[in-house]
Copies of this chain bind each other. A is one copy, B any other.
Amino acid sequence: MAGNSRDPGRSVTARALSVLTAFDIDHVRLTLTAIARRAGIPLATAHRLVRELELWGALERDEDGRYSIGLRLWEIGLLSPVNSRLREAALPHMQDLCQHTHDNVHLAVRVGLDVVYVEKLTTPRAIPIFSRSGGRLPLHSTGVGKVLLAHAPAGVLHECCERGLTRYTAYTITEPGRLGRELQTVRNRGFAQANEEMMLGSCSVAVPVHGTDGAVIAALGVVAHSARADVGRLVKALLPASEAIRQRLVERERGELDLLSR
């Protein structure tokens, strides 16, 4: 590879992956030209990579000639532990919560300085909110975010404050000292609340979900109309659901260990 100082394998894989990152929730269908532009690669390279990815099933082409993420990539993504373990264990308990509260129910994990929504269930009576499974929101302004931030290593809070605490409404906590005290309250009380801090009219309540080793691995939350939310009642519904999820994770781990020891 004279004249190319980079590892050729590395650059090809990186470019193939850059094709995938051209897609996001506002760009789920893209033309070849748009893929090349958004991925920052020459059109000819994009053409070749897209064809390979399409052959494999990572991309799909519709009748208009636009591409979207392929079903095979979706299938493989579902093997991620966040889906195959966490979401699968939580889903029936989230359905129960949703059925009893008639509100939006979220399961979320922390990735860096973001909340990533693993699943969202909703009902026609729930307040319309813009979260979605696979979507991201900041840590400081939502109920699930506060739970995850309260149980993150201390450096994470520091980094969030460094990046700046974006104000979404007049009620968003944007002062680092106040956020630190709020997180202490979350740890002391065992649940978090966010009152119109992300969106006016909505109130979120969330509790930690513990993994098999006792560490906080996720947050389970409900987002309700702020006018009619009964925080005490929501916490009473959330805590046993979170505990049931932990128990299911423990049972599954035991099942897997049993399989391994056979």
Residues of A within 8 A of B (CB): 7-10, 12-14, 16-17, 20-21, 23-25, 28-29, 48-49, 52-53, 56, 58, 60, 68-71, 73-85, 88, 91-92, 95, 98-99, 109, 111, 116, 121-124, 132-134
Contact = CB atoms under 8 A, between A and B. Distances in A.
Nearest to A81: B68
Contacts of A17: 53, 56, 58
Question: Secondary structure of the A side of the interface?
Answer: helix
A124 B92 contact: yes
Q: How many copies does the complex hold?
A: 2
Given A14-B56, A16-B16, A23-B76, 17 more contacts: A13-B16, A17-B53, A17-B58, A28-B81, A28-B84, A28-B85, A60-B80, A68-B79, A69-B77, A69-B80, A70-B80, A71-B116, A74-B83, A76-B77, A78-B133, A83-B133, A92-B124
B73 A69 contact: no
Contacts of A8: 8, 12
**Max chain B Cβ within 10 angstroms of own Cβ: one of A75, A92, A99:** A75
A73 B68 contact: no
